[in-house]
Amino acid sequence: MNKDLKKSWIKIPKWILEIIYNPKIFPNWEVHDYVKDGANCQVFAYEILKFNWKKVPDLRSSEMWADNKISFEVHDFEKLDLIFFNNSTESYWAHVWLYIWNNKVIHNTNKTWWVEIWDLEEFRKYEDYQFILWWKRFF
CA pair distance 60, 70, nearest whole angstrom: 14
Helix or strand or coil: residue 127? helix
CATH, range 2-138:
3.90.1720.10
Q: Which residues of 8-26 are buried (b: 16+ CB within 10 A; e: fewer)?
A: bebebeeebbebbbbeebe
CA pair distance 16, 48, nearest whole angstrom: 7
Give the pLDDT confidence of 83-100 residue by residue, as tens digits. Answer: 888 888 776 777 888 998
Residue 8: what pLDDT? 64
CA pair distance 133, 80, nearest whole angstrom: 17
Question: Which of 50, 108, 46, 102 has its CA nearest to residue 79?
Answer: 102
pTM of the model: 0.84
Residue 81: what pLDDT? 93
Query: CB under 8 Å to 35, separation ≥6 — which residues?
Result: 15, 18, 19
Residue 133: what pLDDT? 78
- Our CA angle for 14, 4, 20, nearest 5°, is 40
- Mean of per-residue pLDDT scores for the chain: 83
CA pair distance 25, 8, nearest whole angstrom: 27
Share of the chain above pLDDT 70, in %: 91
Residue 7: what pLDDT? 63
